[in-house]
Amino acid sequence: MSVFRCYGSEPPLSPRNEPIHNHTSNTTRANKSFCPRLEESYARMSTPQSNHLLTPNLLGRLERMELVSRKVFRGRMKGERKSKRKGQSVEFHDFRNYVAGDDLRLIDWNLYARLDQLFLKLFQEEEDLHFYALIDASESMNFGTPTKLHVAKQLAAALGYVGLCRADRVSVQALGPMGRQAPALRGRASLWKMLNYLDQVDSGQNVSLFEGVKDFSLRNSGTGVAVLISDLMDKEGYESALRMLIGRRMDVFVMHVLSPEEIDPPIRGDRRLIDVEDGDSAEITLNNYALQKYQETVASFISSIKQFCAKRSIVYLPVRTETPVETIVTKYLRERGVVR
């Protein structure tokens, strides 16, 4: 990724006019209050950082939400999601004529008594959905206050918990080697496993987006909803990674996480920039003209991503790190159709 830092206290710019990153990190004090329904799960968490990824108040709101898929996927197990297939559940769907060999237990005998004809009651099938949250954990994500990686983990945890509450199959994992340690998640009791795993995810997984998505695809053969949470800053580009997810027939969402300092950096003067991932360096002078060109390049970069996603039916979701995760999930993502 074309990501640079400088010698100094202020965040620098890239000579290629791409947002720059340093090793700034931010942590918040763990929330000590507990929701009664979730206290047992929180007590099982191994580190205090788990408590500030999802607050008890936010967890209560997430329980009432549901992940939205624009495509119809055939689930492997029973869940709480309505399917277009007919099956067994408590929700009535329709009648159809009895055919020899049908299950006699499904015959509506009350209707037979009135019409003297055999009809079967059909019910709405309920299936699970496979939800994948893919987190870019490269060094470029370790920037901002809070860091982009911290916000990415909060978003992944929030969406993952929504899926767990609906009995969906959830996979929250970082791109790169850490992804191979991601646990299989299903049901609310898996909350502590998900948060413990996210606590172990740290920046430094410097694999390209393409290699990270390729490794994920080789390890996961199923289809479902895939949410890529990244700043999309990769020297090899983001296009091939997104094409691979589309080729897997995934319902793809891209959450593009940027910090305010990357969009409007408050710096001036002579700077030496060093790439935090591969060590490339450059010396530049930052004046008003250079900053204007930088902002134009950032705007063009974002616009190109929007166009790429729109042409391929990928939902593009820009995220700013200064926006509280509660607002992003409960308002913004609901408006954009990610949850309901």
Structural domains in the chain plus CATH codes: 36-71+128-263+304-335 (3.40.50.410), 82-127 (no CATH)
Whole-structure pTM value = 0.73
Place of tokens 């205090």: 48
Q: Within the chain, what is the greatest distance between any pair of CA atoms? A: 91
Short-list 112, 60, 120, CA closest to 94 = 120
pLDDT tens, per residue, the chain with 340 residues: 444 444 343 444 443 444 444 444 443 333 434 444 444 544 444 444 445 788 888 999 999 888 887 765 444 444 444 444 444 444 555 677 877 877 777 788 888 888 888 888 776 554 557 899 999 999 989 988 899 999 999 999 999 999 999 888 899 999 988 888 898 888 888 999 999 999 999 888 788 999 999 999 998 877 889 999 999 998 889 999 999 999 888 889 999 999 998 888 887 888 887 777 777 888 888 888 888 998 999 999 999 999 999 999 999 999 999 999 999 998 888 888 888 8
> How far is the C-alpha of 284 from the C-alpha of 299, rounded, in Å?
21
Contact partners, residue 264, CB within 8 Å, separation at least 6: 295
**Strands 225-230, 251-258: parallel, antiparallel or unpaired by DSSP?**
parallel
| Cβ atoms of 10 and 266 closer than 8 Å | yes
